Structure 1
Amino acid sequence: MNIKKLFSKYKENQAAIILYQREIEIRKRDLLPNMINTLSLVPVAHENTSTVESTVEKYGKDLDIRYFEEQIARARYDIQTVDALMALLNEETRNLIRMRLIEGIKTPEIAETLGICERDVYRKTNDALDKMDMLVGAIQRH
């Protein structure tokens, strides 16, 4: 697992969730006319299910919707992983990682904001990422 990439994709994953949810809604609307056209109070006997039930069942079986739901689940999992790893860091390192990797703020601006030199920004970021890489690697080996 590439920890740096995981952190740097944090906002991308947040955006992906929003966009995939939008795609699911659009896909459901595309399927909806079938449901509206067949909607009735009396079920039509086709293998003991109404056509409305069959159309609703399509939502669960639709490959596009399933793909979008899987992508949302992956993005949420990555976000939760980053949040959990961030909780392990001290406040200064957490702020540094958030600014540099998640928000994409340039090193000189981070150094000025935190009152440290640019070299320390690189060193502290790399040290934190190395420690998280080792921790995750140790866990994955077990």
Structure 2
Amino acid sequence: MKMFTNIPRYVEREIEEIQKLTLPIMKKTRKYSFLAVLIIPISILNLLSLVFFTPFSQEMFISTLIFAAIGALGFAFQKEVRYSMKEIQKVSISYMKERVEKSRALDLHRQRHYIELLTNHPTRTLNIFQQFLEEENRQFH
């Protein structure tokens, strides 16, 4: 899966390794996200039409319960998506930290610096990891 352009091959290889680790979680996340996006609006629209445009009856009550349960399921899928995205981030950062620790090109001080950056700036991990890989590559060449 090629997401990035104009990046060095050694960075691309590491990103592919991260994608291999996160692929099972990502597949589940896509399914749940699709279901949530599909189920929630349908449920809400049907609930609104039942409540505001249908006279009260036992059938209306049962339908309301069914659509409420379907909506709750959709929101549960949405919550699972958020949890899975955090899990993907955790797995990715863990891989990056392990990769920094295994580096033979950088001294312990530089390794700790990058690990600290990865820990303290979770929204910039990919940029930080790329900087690490570029520095490591410069040390080897």
Tell me if both proteins adopt one fold, taking TM over 0.5 as the criterion: no
Higher relative CO (Cα under 8 Å, sequence separation at least 6) belongs to 1
Structure-2-length-normalised TM-score: 0.39
Greater share of residues in helix: 2
